């Protein structure tokens, strides 16, 4: 059975009978985990093993484990700094910042692989322009070339740990004040400004072979009336044709405020798929997933299925074995060496 276009959230720390049944449906291709799904490394490893055992090929399992404010698994995991700390280090010592970025990417991915997670939706490629509070210190730096350079190092570390990377939020969320979780942000800048600023980081990451990108629920008013997630112009003309991106396109969560203006959940799903998304995040509740399973009963996109099949994690030591590895101990010490106090609130 191939992987379908829906990535669904779960209600708790185990699978309900309804969730188990939905995960067996061909329209579903993965699961995204949150803090509500996590108690301990042992518990989450058992959960991922159960999910993977339901299908062949296994369903994809993802989480947001960026560090700083956005780290879903905490107890039993290294508390990662917000990546803005790497940007601050870059301003004084670029070579050390790139070294620390690679070690951080490896540490994050190795710890997740040790409990069976395939994907962390990272790195953030948005710019730290001092405009967007929801991005804020989730961004490496204000300069696009610096963001791309640090992200490339971070991705090298992820790949060494057996995890492919997902950059976000295409084509850039750092220049709007509104929070797309709550409302639809509108960016009024012309195409030439986006190309020379936000889009540059994505272009460079596509050139270096990043495996996946996640879209932004943002309207770029002078370029296209539709939010990027639902825009054929952004996803087909710019991302696929102009930039030559061949990887997976994930939508951001279709429950977010920035998506609701497109219509009800079936309308959002159809619009995102028609625009060019390969996989849709539906993070809250089994009911909308059950609805989409029926709506997308005839969905078939062999190209998307091939792209998604390349997103599985590869190898990785188990949780206890990883912590006996000198590389893990060295990475933890290095991360602690550049960290500064940061807010530990969950999003």
Residue carrying structure tokens 């780290």: 71
Helix, strand, coil tally for the chain in percent (to 5) = 45, 15, 45
pLDDT(92) > 50: yes
Return the DSSP state at 135. Answer: T
Spell out the residues 6+ positions from residue 228 whose beta carbon is closer than 8 angstroms to its own: 170, 171, 215, 216, 217, 218, 219, 220, 234, 235
What integer is the mean pLDDT of 57-75?
97
Q: Are the CB atoms for 275 and 233 separated by under 8 Å?
A: no
Tokens of 185: 């942000």
Residue 283 has what pLDDT?
96
Catalytic residue among 64, 126, 198, 252: 252
For 171-221, the pLDDT digits (tens) are 999 989 888 999 998 998 888 888 889 999 999 999 999 999 999 999 999
Distance CA 107, CA 332 (A): 7
Residue 314 has what pLDDT?
97
For 226-251, the pLDDT digits (tens) are 999 999 999 999 999 999 999 999 99
Nearest partner of 215 among 267, 283, 262, 280, judged by Cα: 280
What confidence category does residue 340 fall into, taking pLDDT thresholds of 50, 70 and 90? low
For 263-284, the pLDDT digits (tens) are 999 999 999 999 999 999 999 9
Residue 342 known to be catalytic: no
For 139-177, the pLDDT digits (tens) are 999 999 999 999 999 999 999 999 999 999 999 999 898
Domain at 6-338, CATH from 1.10.630.10, 3.40.50.300, 3.20.20.300, 3.40.190.10: 3.20.20.300
What confidence category does residue 345 fall into, taking pLDDT thresholds of 50, 70 and 90? very low
First to last CA, the chain: 34
Residue 347 has what pLDDT?
35
Residue carrying structure tokens 């936000």: 198
Distance CA 175, CA 163 (A): 29
Delimit the domains of the chain by residue range. Answer: 6-338
Catalytic residue among 99, 179, 181, 193: 181
Residue 181 known to be catalytic: yes
Q: Are the CB atoms for 120 and 65 separated by under 8 Å?
A: yes
8 vs 32, 151, 283, 335, CA distance in Å?
Answer: 6, 27, 5, 32
Could you tell me the pTM of the whole model?
0.95
Residue 138 has what pLDDT?
97
Helix (H, G, I), strand (E, B) or coil at 99: helix
Q: How many CB atoms lie within 10 A of CB 64?
A: 22
Residue 178 has what pLDDT?
87
Q: Are the CB atoms for 37 and 44 separated by under 8 Å?
A: yes
DSSP assignment of 243-284 equals S---SEEEEEETTSTTTGGG-SHHHHHHHHHHHT-SEEEE-S
């Amino acid at each position: 059975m191939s992987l379908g276009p829906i990535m669904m959230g779960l209600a708790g720390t185990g699978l309900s009978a309804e969730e188990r049944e939905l995960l067996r449906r061909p329209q579903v291709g993965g699961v995204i985990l949150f803090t509500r799904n996590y108690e301990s490394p042992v518990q989450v490893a058992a959960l991922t093993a159960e999910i993977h055992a339901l299908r062949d090929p296994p369903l994809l399992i993802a989480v947001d484990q960026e560090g700083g404010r956005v780290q879903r698994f905490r107890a039993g995991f290294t508390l990662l700094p917000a990546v803005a700390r790497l940007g601050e280090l870059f301003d004084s010592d670029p070579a050390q910042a790139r070294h620390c970025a690679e070690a951080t990417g490896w540490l994050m991915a190795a710890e997740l692989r040790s409990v069976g997670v395939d994907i962390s939706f990272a790195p953030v490629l948005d710019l730290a322009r001092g405009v967007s509070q929801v991005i804020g210190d989730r961004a490496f730096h204000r300069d696009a070339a610096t963001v791309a350079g640090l992200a490339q190092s971070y991705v090298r570390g992820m790949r060494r740990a057996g995890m492919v990377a997902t950059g976000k939020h295409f084509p850039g969320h750092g220049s709007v004040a509104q929070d797309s979780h709550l409302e639809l942000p509108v960016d009024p800048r012309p195409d030439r400004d986006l190309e020379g600023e936000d889009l540059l980081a994505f272009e460079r990451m596509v050139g270096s072979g990043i495996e996946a990108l996640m879209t932004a629920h943002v309207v770029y008013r002078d370029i296209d009336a539709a939010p990027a997630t639902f825009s054929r112009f952004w996803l087909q003309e710019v991302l696929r044709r102009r930039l030559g991106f061949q990887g997976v396109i994930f939508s951001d969560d279709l429950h977010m405020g920035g998506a609701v203006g497109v219509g009800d959940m079936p309308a959002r799903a159809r619009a995102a798929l028609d625009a060019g998304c390969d996989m849709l995040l539906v993070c809250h509740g089994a009911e909308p997933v059950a609805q989409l399973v029926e709506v997308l009963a005839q969905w078939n996109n062999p190209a998307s299925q091939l792209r998604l099949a390349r997103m599985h994690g590869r190898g990785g030591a188990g949780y206890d074995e990883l912590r006996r590895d000198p590389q893990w101990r060295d990475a933890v010490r290095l991360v602690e060496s550049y960290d500064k106090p940061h807010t530990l609130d969950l999003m």
